[in-house]
Amino acid sequence: MDLTKLTIVQAGQGLRKKEFSAVELCQAYLDNIEAKNKDVFAFLTIIKDLAMQEAKKADDLISSGAKLPALAGIPMAVKDNILVKGVKCTAGSKILEDYMAPYDATVVSKLKKQGVIILGKTNLDEFAMGSSTENSAFGPTRNPHNLSRVPGGSSGGSAAAVAGDMSVFALGSDTGGSIRQPASFCGLVGLKPTYGAVSRYGLMAFASSLDQIGPITKTAEDAKIVFEAISGKDKLDSTSVSMESSPEKMIKPSQIKAGIPREYFIKGIDPEVEKAVKSAIEKYEKAGVKIIEVSLPNTQYALPAYYIINPAEASSNLARYDGIKYGLSKEGKALLDVYLETRGQGFGAEVRRRIMLGTFTLSSGYYEAYYKRAQKVRTKIIQDFKNVFNKVDVLFTPTCPILPFKIGEKIEDPLSMYLVDVYTVSVNLAGLPALSLPIGQVNNLPVGMQIIGQPFEDIKILELAKAYGA
């Protein structure tokens, strides 16, 4: 049996039936990382010894006959902007190259309580800013389906780790598509939970009104297991909320009305991607889902509004990297020089671009024209979603307008990279849950379809994805 092909459910059954031990399972993944990470570069840090220690503990628990949590003994990977105590956390940035995490993120402590085995920390666009993982200060991650292509981003290392069978599942973070788009590019399920469903404590703040942590997995069932393990109110994140626990209901496709927003199928989409998404929609229709064409009239304004709000929040969040409290610190004659040199040399090009953009749109004389206007457009985008959700339960859209592109293809033109996020950013502006579902391949490259749900109906979209057979 190839242990590195297993889902969470399959690995959990194997451990319970003692078909293999947690140590054997962990070793199989570490061997695969050893063999593949040179080429794929999914992991920035591998924590071999600690992982094996934890695997031994899991085996002890199994042989004790105690009731096992769903994730006990399951090897996993964590995006390197989420803190794991005592392990380096770089955010893919030179400014945090040697930074040691002093505590666990809430999601990490929840998963540790279940007995997961953390294999390591995964590569990302610096501070999660990007759509290809090429913005990492430590080098790009490659798509395991085709090594000349990007894995998507910013959670590209997490997606590549799972797609390359180097981890059973991984955590990512999604500010404008950073879980869904790499899941789509790597043929996986990726869930961006409802804003507030998962605690952000211990996630490096990027754009706080948009950021959410979520799972990247091989199946929708696995995504649901991880989501249930990490969600819930946390007193350390005052924006987190407790989900009203609805009793486990099987969702029948025939009970679902799905909207197809016409603004998501216009110029700019690869015709092959469009074809694949339309045939997935047909498959749902055959299974009994009622398909209704709907309109989200402000869709075209979501991306420009996002690229005001996101850099504005980022510019203030990243003010903390000042060379004083932690991280890189450059010498300077006066305090101002310490700031200027630490930040000027420690941040990469995309991070500096966004900090400058955000600083500009928040600066005196421009605030009303840019930031305030974008906040009002955000209100209109939320209103659009509210209107269509009076008529339908969920929305079906492509996750990304294009197939995984070549490494180097877009990196020199920042605006062309931003356009990759066109179908994913509205969801973050509105705080909605959404997932990317693998629906097949075009030219041997994976394609994903996005399912968008209403606030706190994360389980419903996961069940619907399960019904597809993913």
Partner 1 sequence: MLSKKEVQHIAKLARLSLKTKDEAKFQKELSSILDYIEQLKKVDISNIEPTSHPFSIKNVVRPDEAESKRYNLLESAPKTKDGYIKVKQILK
Smallest distance from partner 1 to CB 374, Å:
6
Which residues in the 431-460 window bind partner 1 by CB under 8 A?
431, 455
85 counts as catalytic: no
- Catalytic position from the list 21, 136, 155, 178: 178
SS3 of 381-393: HHHHHHHHCCCCC
CA-CA distance, 152 to 417, in Å (whole number)? 11
Residues 138/142/147/152 CA torsion (nearest 10 deg)? -140
The CA-atom distances, in angstroms, between 153 and each of 169, 184, 393 are 16, 10, 28
Q: CA of 116: how far to CAs of 14, 106, 110, in Å?
A: 15, 14, 9
DSSP string, 229-269: HHBS-BTTBTT----------PPPGGG-EEEEEGGGSSTTS
Q: Whose CA is closest to 122, among 88, 73, 86?
A: 88
- Of the candidate residues 87, 160, 186, 377, the single one contacting partner 1 (CB under 8 A): 377
Contact mark string toward partner 1, 308..337, x via CB under 8 A: x------x---x--xxxxxx-x--x-xxx-
By CB under 8 A, is residue 388 in contact with partner 1?
no
d(CA 70, CA 49): 23
158 is catalytic: no
372 binds partner 1 (CB under 8 A): yes
Residue 300 interacting with partner 1 (CB under 8 A): yes
Catalytic residue check, 246 = no
Considering the rule CB under 8 A, would residue 382 count as an interface residue with partner 1?
A: yes
How far is the C-alpha of 212 from the C-alpha of 175, rounded, in Å?
7
Q: Provide the mask over 205-234, with x wherever binding to partner 1 is found by CB under 8 A and - wherever it is not.
A: ----x-------------------------
Q: Interface with partner 1 includes 378 (CB under 8 A)?
A: yes
Residue 209, classed as helix, strand or coil, is: coil
The DSSP string of 400-427 is -SSPPPBTTSSTT-HHHHHGGGTTTHHH
- Residue in 21, 132, 136, 154 annotated catalytic: 154
Q: Is 298 in the site for partner 1 (CB under 8 A)?
A: yes
Nearest to 3 by CA among 19, 17, 16: 19
Tokens describing residue 123: 């590569």
- Comparing CB distances to partner 1, the nearer of 218 and 354 is 354
Segment lying near partner 1 (by CB under 8 A), choices 52-60, 255-263, 368-376, 392-400: 368-376
Our finding on whether 345 is near partner 1 (CB under 8 A) is: yes
Packed helices 48-63 and 8-16: angle between N→C axes, nearest 10 degrees: 50
Shortest separation between residue 423's beta carbon and partner 1, angstroms: 17
Residue from 75, 156, 196, 398 in contact with partner 1 (CB under 8 A): 196
What does the binding site for partner 1 look like in residue numbers (CB under 8 A)? 99-100, 102-103, 195-196, 209, 235, 238-239, 241, 298, 300-301, 304-305, 307-308, 315, 319, 322-327, 329, 332, 334-336, 338-341, 343-345, 347, 352-353, 355-357, 359-360, 363, 370, 372-380, 382, 414-415, 418, 429-431, 455
Residues annotated as part of the active site = 79, 154, 178
